[in-house]
Structure 1
Amino acid sequence: MTYTLPNLAVGTSYTLRLHFNEFYWKLAGQRVFNVTVNGTVVLPNFDIIAAAGAPETAIVEQFTVRPIRTATSRLRSRVQRLTNRRSLRWNSTANL
């Protein structure tokens, strides 16, 4: 799953907030994944339940990032599942 924020100013820092909540699985370790931003892993082996302390508990991970230089100057966030193929939904925001 990839999420792209296009048309950002190169050389400018942005606050990227990734919002997570696990509604399907109930135990830590049942869904683990990597999150990358512009090709750099920012959350390796991320487990929402372990990070939040309980299932069905929201958690926000925040990063200061800079867009990569492309035709549209963008931030690209990507989730790569390591365990479980069940559907994953997430929300990403950036202060523009």
Structure 2
Amino acid sequence: MYHIAVSFDVPAEHHEAFIAAALEDGRNSAADEPGTRRFELIRDEEDPDRFYLNEAYDDPEAFQAHVDGKHFARFFEIISPFAVGPTWLIKGTTIEDPLAARA
């Protein structure tokens, strides 16, 4: 599984627009992009103006398909006038433990 996490700083007066755009992106990506596995929006506990996107994809190619897709473009079209980011936090592939029990 391929994971990415990014942060965005968003002025208080734009929180609602950012949240709506991020949730729409996640919802539509999950529906239209077969390689999208998880799309989470998280608000920082200490800084209410900081938001994180925590996403998982089948592989780097599935993430690239998301980046090249219409939902990603629409998200940035909406947020670019007011959001600062993305600041990359992680980008990488899960290392599975072959000895761990599977549920």
**Bigger fraction of residues in strand:** 1
Common fold: TM-score over 0.5: no
